[in-house]
């Protein structure tokens, strides 16, 4: 099972502080379209200047942080990436199969606690 964390406090530069947060709207849309994916709301992924933000992870797999997500445009792409992550044993979706926005807006990735083939 891969988990998609979605920042619900993300807002864009210039948004009024008391307006509904794009991150919260993004979370609701993703949850409605998630199917078999687990969507978990988070208050801040510390990627504020590159929002909206989401991260996909699973026990024993790589973690990916994705930025510059538009709640109106990138629902399908982030869900597709999360499903590819779920399907790959190590959470490393093949590059050519990653949606364009994901390729261009991967903010960071972090290995699982134990990396196969890496001596400690």
Q: What does the binding site for its own copies look like in residue numbers (CB under 8 A)? A: 3, 5, 38, 40-42, 44-47, 53, 55, 57-59, 63-65, 67, 106-111, 113, 115, 118, 120
Q: How far is the CB of 115 from its own copies (least distance, A)?
A: 7
Work out how close the CB of 71 gets to its own copies at its nearest, in angstroms, rounded to a whole number: 19
Q: At closest approach, how far in Å is the CB of 40 from its own copies? A: 6
Asked if 41 and 54 count as a contact pair (C-beta separation under 8 A), the reply is no
Residue 75 Cβ vs its own copies, minimum distance, rounded to whole Å: 20
- C-alpha pair distances (Å), 48 with each of 53, 95, 102, 113: 8, 26, 17, 26
Name the helix (H) or strand (E) containing 81. helix 75-87
- Nearest of 19, 22, 28 to residue 10 by alpha carbon: 22
Of residues 12 and 18, the one with the C-beta less far from its own copies = 12
Nearer to its own copies, 16 or 117 (CB): 117
Residue number, 75 or 92, with CB nearest to its own copies: 92
For 66, the enclosing helix (H) or strand (E) is strand 63-66
């Amino acid at each position: 099972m891969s988990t998609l964390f979605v920042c619900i406090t993300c807002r864009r530069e210039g948004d009024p502080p008391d307006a509904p947060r794009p991150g919260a709207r993004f979370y609701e849309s993703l949850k409605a379209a998630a199917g078999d994916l687990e969507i978990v709301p988070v208050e801040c992924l510390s990627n504020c200047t590159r929002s909206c933000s989401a991260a996909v992870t699973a026990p024993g797999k790589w973690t990916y942080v994705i930025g510059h997500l538009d709640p109106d445009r990138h629902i399908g792409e982030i869900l597709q990436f999360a499903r590819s992550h779920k399907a790959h044993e190590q959470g490393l979706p093949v590059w050519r199969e990653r949606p364009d926005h994901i390729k261009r807006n991967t903010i960071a990735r972090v290995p699982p606690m134990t990396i196969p083939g890496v001596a400690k």
